[in-house]
Amino acid sequence: MGYRLILLTALVSQALAQAPLRVLLVSTDPAPERRTAIARLRDTLEHTGRFSIRLSEDSPSSAASRYDALLLDCAAPSTNPGAWKAIVSFRAARCSNAAPPAAANELRIQWTNPQHPIAAGLAPQFRTSDAPGPLTTGDTLASSGSAPVVRLQTKGKTRHLETALGENNAVLQEPAFLDIIARSLEFTATGKVTLPPRDTSHRAPSSALRTLIVTGGHPYDTSFYNLFENNPKINAQIDPHPRPYRAGDLRPRHDVLVLYDSMQAIDEQERKTLTDFLESGKGVVFLHHSLVDYCNWQWWYEEVMGGRWYQTGDNPPKWKTRWKHDVEQIVRPVVPHPVTEGVGVMHIWDETYQGMWLSPKNQVLMRSDDPSSDGPVVWISPYQKSRVVVIELGHGRTAHEHPAYRRLVQNAIIWAGGK
């Protein structure tokens, strides 16, 4: 009995040690570019699997018991910073001194305490472009010349790490900065670091899904490109229609096909290229206006996509299926599935479609609550030879920059690729 209790205790301790650390990320900067950069930072940190992060504009000390760490972007720790066990602040120097932002300059940063758990295993020095101010308190872990840029101090039970880096929005996605933030969160919260250094090669890992994104036939915001960034499991290449289908067999070069085009014309060779890709078991993800593709190709809309836009019999034909721009809606998951994991209920402004034919064989994953929508907006198609995901959402910037939509699209690619 005693042995079982010891074993159970060890298993529980191990499970708790591997549970994601709960982090409150506070950013009060109202600039749209900064908000976008902070949201991307949150997504990147969560993709490590080590953190569950809530983004807020306030850090009340009463919330300290609900979180393992407080992450601050140029914000005061709280009215009672001692209530927090772990605090990590970036862009800390400028905000504490209320100094205006300076122009970014090249920095060469050296770890002055390379044996510290936060720095251990990292490159001894790195370059960046930023505008840090002076840090005045704490033990120095890294410096640019004689100026400290990373410092750690302990007050009572609170470990507080400050870095002057992070003024430049681009820095928030650089591997060295992400190492500092992620490893500092882990160390201040737990006293140790288990996260490995991030890959700084800027090459897609060999295991990444070779993803071909086909565009064309419909205007779109360049924010669309951000959907495929900062996920080491996805190696994306974007090519406009019809060039990918005229460049030979897609199967040896791509694992997943993501469609964001809106086309009707397709010749026999192009049809064969698509058919061969699908019948080989390769994955396909339809996004938004690609649902209009090839609405008179029965195999395509009936078996592969599980949906069809209707046209009139006019010459030229007119669309009978209706659409409506910028609709405020709530989109809810209806069944658990890897494609919707971590997405949750979405409050989003996006274009809706109504009056489509939808296959009764579709596995519907998410539905919109707006009456201008047919209801289903994410589904798995009836096609049996490969994994096909259809996502009706995704018209413009408000969708592209929505963290849950980004998660949804990346989940769909990874699942369609068999990962």
pLDDT band, very low/low/confident/very high, at 36 (cuts 50, 70, 90): confident
Q: What is the percent of the chain with per-residue pLDDT over 70, rounded to a whole number?
A: 90
CA-CA distance, 253 to 264, in Å (whole number)? 25
pLDDT band, very low/low/confident/very high, at 7 (cuts 50, 70, 90): very low
Strand partners, 347: 330
Domains parsed from the chain with CATH numbers: 18-190 (3.40.50.880), 209-416 (3.40.50.880)
pLDDT band, very low/low/confident/very high, at 1 (cuts 50, 70, 90): very low
pLDDT(44) > 70: yes
What pLDDT, on the 0 to 100 scale, is given for residue 133?
81
Most confident of 89-103, 233-247, 295-309: 295-309
What pLDDT, on the 0 to 100 scale, is given for residue 137?
84
Query: What is the amino acid identity at position 358?
Result: L
Q: What is the mean pLDDT of residues 328-341?
A: 97
pLDDT(376) > 70: yes
Who's near 294: CB < 8 A, 6+ residues apart?
263, 264, 266, 300, 301
CA-CA distance, 288 to 419, in Å (whole number)? 23
One-letter-per-residue 3-state SS of 192-236: CCCCCCCCCCCCCCCCCEEEEEEEECCCCCHHHHHHHCCCCCEEE
What pLDDT, on the 0 to 100 scale, is given for residue 6?
43
- Name the H helices within 233-343: 268-279, 298
Nearest one of 169, 98, 107, 160 to 132, comparing CA atoms? 107
pLDDT(397) > 90: yes
Q: What is the mean pLDDT of residues 34-47?
A: 89
Whether 283 contacts 417, CB under 8 Å = yes
Helix (H) or strand (E) holding 347: strand 346-354
Q: What is the mean pLDDT of residues 192-220?
A: 85
Structure tokens at 285: 């993800």
Lowest mean pLDDT among 55-59, 68-72, 392-396: 55-59
Q: What is the mean pLDDT of residues 96-115?
A: 79
Whether 129 contacts 168, CB under 8 Å = yes
Who's near 156: CB < 8 A, 6+ residues apart?
82
Supply the pTM of this predicted model.
Answer: 0.61
Burial of 326 (0-12, 13-18, 19+ CB in 10 A): exposed
Whether 327 contacts 351, CB under 8 Å = yes
Q: What is the DSSP letter of 41?
A: H
pLDDT band, very low/low/confident/very high, at 18 (cuts 50, 70, 90): low
What pLDDT, on the 0 to 100 scale, is given for residue 196?
92
Q: In terms of DSSP bridges, do strands 363-368 and 357-358 run parallel, antiparallel, or are they unpaired? A: unpaired
CA-CA distance, 405 to 346, in Å (whole number)? 8
Q: In terms of DSSP bridges, do strands 86-90 and 69-73 run parallel, antiparallel, or are they unpaired? A: parallel
Q: What is the mean pLDDT of residues 173-184?
A: 95
pLDDT(9) > 50: no
Helix (H) or strand (E) holding 146: none
Q: What is the mean pLDDT of residues 85-113?
A: 80
Condensed to tens digits (0 to 9), the pLDDT of residues 269-321 reads 999 999 999 999 999 999 999 999 999 999 999 999 999 999 988 888 899 99
CA angle 193, 39, 27 (to 5 degrees): 85
Strand partners, 235: 210
pLDDT band, very low/low/confident/very high, at 28 (cuts 50, 70, 90): confident
